[in-house]
């Protein structure tokens, strides 16, 4: 049974470009530590017209996440081949139209803890389970992206936790996203669209699936783009990084925090940025409108979208 518009390619040493499997058939053991414990890592990237965007940055972050949790995963080439294969396979199966904008997810779990291999074949340790999943992206483009309402939520740790307690894996993109999803549900139940997390001592962190960006325009017209400080334990955003590079080339100044939550209310515009959604303009935070000048905010948002759409 084929599954709706999903293409799956497992990384497998016997298949240099990865092994295509039926996404409509069972593929994971329930004893795999990914589903069983959320013990694994992932990346989600955007592919446009068959080309993955910022693949190298995503592969680097996957490797950093793996290192943070002592997970040995296949090398960059194996992942890049599997991504390429999965996108091509998706195009062949579902047609070119489906290929125009795709979400590509790379997942590595710690492996199946109940491998019943004969003793002589038993491997020394667990082998990670790794796959690439491709689905059409239904997320908005610049033309239909709507400003969003955001709630500020306490993430429950202070700004020193990431350095003090590395086992919290705060800068790693692990499969344990239940807290992030719960925060999004909380926002929806309370009439908002998304969330910005803060530390318990009031520093700005990130969204559950995005990086916070904010802009200020000085009286002399100088534009500065800010993002919260990474060492407070946020995921280093590949979209933020790419947008910063393009903004700097366009003459913007850059600022890397630390930022307190009141920085949102004195900004001229605030956005959440991520690989698949690209840019979402924040309209209100806890019900308070962001920016004094809606036209200026709209102009800045336009510029940010231009940067985001130029990311390759």
Ligand X SMILES: Cc1ncc(COP(=O)(O)O)c(C=O)c1O
With respect to ligand X, which residue has the nearer C-beta, 147 or 237? Answer: 237
Nearer to ligand X (CB atom), residue 209 or residue 232? 209
Nearer to ligand X, 193 or 206 (CB): 206
Cα-trace Rg, the chain:
20
Of the pair 39, 43, the CB lying nearest ligand X is at: 43
* Closer residue to ligand X, CB minimum distance, 73 or 212: 212
Nearest to 50 by CA among 106, 102, 107: 102
Q: Smallest distance, Å, CB 180 to ligand X?
A: 6
CB of 276 to ligand X, least distance (A): 7
The pair of three-digit structure tokens given for residue 42, joined into one six-digit string: 């992932």
Choose between 112 and 238: whose C-beta lies nearer to ligand X: 238
**Residue linked to tokens 């920016």:** 291
Token digits for 280?
């979402």
Compute the distance between CA of residue 77 and CA of residue 61 in angstroms, rounded to an integer: 14
Least CB distance to ligand X at residue 295 (A): 27
CB of 30 to ligand X, least distance (A): 25
Handedness of CA 286, 289, 292, 293 (dihedral sign): positive
Distances in Å between the Cα of 221 and the Cα atoms of 150, 245, 252, 253 are 28, 19, 10, 11
- In whole angstroms, how far apart are CA 217 and each of 44, 247, 262, 264, 291? 32, 13, 16, 14, 11
- Closest distance to ligand X from the beta carbon of 58 (Å): 7
Size of residue set near ligand X by CB under 6 A: 13
Tokens at residue 139, please?
């997320």
What minimum distance in Å lies between the beta carbon of 59 and ligand X? 12
Contact present, 168 and 180 (Cβ < 8 Å) = no
State the nearest-atom distance from the C-beta of 73 to ligand X, in Å: 18
Dist. CA 102–CA 22, nearest whole Å: 18
Binding of residue 176 to ligand X (CB under 6 A): no
Tokens of 6: 């999903």
Give the three-class secondary structure for 140.
coil
Q: How far is the CB of 228 from ligand X (least distance, A)?
A: 10
- The mark string for 17-46 relative to ligand X (x by CB under 6 A, - otherwise) is ---------------------------x--
Out of 32, 84, 193, 206, point to the residue binding ligand X (CB under 6 A). Answer: 206
Taking contact as CB under 6 A, which single stretch among the options 111-119, 124-132, 247-255, 270-278 is the one that binds ligand X? 270-278
For 62-87, b/e burial (b = at least 16 CB within 10 A) is bbebbebeebebbeeebbbbbbbbbb
Smaller CB separation from ligand X, 209 or 301: 209
**Phi–psi pair at 279, nearest 5 degrees:** -130, 130
State how far the Cα of 181 lies from the Cα of 220, in Å rounded to an integer.
41
Shortest distance, position 274 Cβ to ligand X, whole Å: 4
Residue 147 or 233 having the CB closest to ligand X: 233
Q: Could you say which of 65, 135, 274, 281 contacts ligand X (CB under 6 A)?
A: 274
47 versus 217: smaller Cβ distance to ligand X: 47
Kindly identify the residues of this chain, within the stretch 223-242, that bind ligand X according to CB under 6 A.
235, 237-240
User: Which residues are near ligand X by CB under 6 A?
Assistant: 44, 206, 209-211, 235, 237-240, 273-275
């Amino acid at each position: 049974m084929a599954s709706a518009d999903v293409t799956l390619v497992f990384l497998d040493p016997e298949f240099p470009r990865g092994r295509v499997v039926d996404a409509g058939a069972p593929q994971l053991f329930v004893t795999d530590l990914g589903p069983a414990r959320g013990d694994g890592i992932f990346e989600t990237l955007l592919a446009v017209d068959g080309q993955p965007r910022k693949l190298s940055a995503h592969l680097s972050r996957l490797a950093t996440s793996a290192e943070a949790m002592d997970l040995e995963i296949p090398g960059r080439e194996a992942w890049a081949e599997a991504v390429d294969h999965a996108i091509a396979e998706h195009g062949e199966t579902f047609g070119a139209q489906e290929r125009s904008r795709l979400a590509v997810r790379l997942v590595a779990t710690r492996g199946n803890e109940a491998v019943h291999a004969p003793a002589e074949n038993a491997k020394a340790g667990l082998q990670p389970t790794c796959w690439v999943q491709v689905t059409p992206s239904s997320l908005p483009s610049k033309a239909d992206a709507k400003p969003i309402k955001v709630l500020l939520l306490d993430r429950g740790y202070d700004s020193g936790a990431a350095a003090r307690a590395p086992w919290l894996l705060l800068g790693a993109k692990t499969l344990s996203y239940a807290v992030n999803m719960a925060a999004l549900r909380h926002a929806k139940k309370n009439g908002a669209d998304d969330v910005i997390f803060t530390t318990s001592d009031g520093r700005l962190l990130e969204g559950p699936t995005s990086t916070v960006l904010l802009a200020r325009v000085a009286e002399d017209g100088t534009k500065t783009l800010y993002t919260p400080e990474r060492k407070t334990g946020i995921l280093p955003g590949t979209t933020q990084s790419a947008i910063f590079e393009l903004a700097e080339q366009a003459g913007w100044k850059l600022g890397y925090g630390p930022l307190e939550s009141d920085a949102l209310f004195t900004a001229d515009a605030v956005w959440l940025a991520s690989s698949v959604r690209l840019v979402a303009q924040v309209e209100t935070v806890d019900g308070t409108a962001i920016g004094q000048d809606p036209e200026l905010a709209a102009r800045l948002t336009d510029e940010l979208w231009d940067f985001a759409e130029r990311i390759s």
